Amino acid sequence: MSKSRNQAVVPEAREALDKFKMEAASEVGVNLKDGYNGDITARQAGSIGGQMVKKMIESYERNMK
C-alpha cells in the first residue's frame, strides 16, 4: 500500500495552491479540470510547474524591496 507524499504542510492552503495551479495552467495554455488530470502530458505538467516557480520567484523578488 503506497501513501501519497503530495500533502501540503498547511492543509488549509490546499485550496489556494489549487487555484494557483489552475491560474498557472491557464497562462501556459493547458486546460486543467477539477480532480484527476493524469491525462495531460509530462511536457504540459512541466510547463505548469515551471510557470508556478516563475511566479513564486517574481513574487519573492517584488516583496524583497
Grid cell of 47 as nine digits: 510547463
pLDDT confidence band for 39 (50 / 70 / 90):
very high
Q: Is residue 53 part of a domain?
A: yes
**In this predicted structure, what is the pLDDT of residue 8?**
64
Q: Is residue 48 part of a domain?
A: yes
Q: Is residue 1 part of a domain?
A: no
Q: Is residue 22 part of a domain?
A: no
Q: Which helix (H) or strand (E) holds 48?
A: helix 42-64
Q: Is residue 64 part of a domain?
A: yes
Grouping H, G, I as helix, E, B as strand and the rest as coil, residue 63 is helix
Cβ–Cβ under 8 Å, residues 51 and 27: yes
Residue 52: which residues within 8 A CB-CB, separation 6 or more? 20, 21, 24
Q: Which domain holds residue 49?
A: 41-65
25: how many CB neighbours lie within 10 A of its CB?
Answer: 22
| pLDDT tens sequence across 4-29 | 666 667 878 888 999 999 999 999 99
Q: Is residue 57 part of a domain?
A: yes
Q: Is residue 21 part of a domain?
A: no
pLDDT confidence band for 3 (50 / 70 / 90):
low
Q: Is residue 58 part of a domain?
A: yes
pTM: 0.77
The number of domains in the chain is: 1
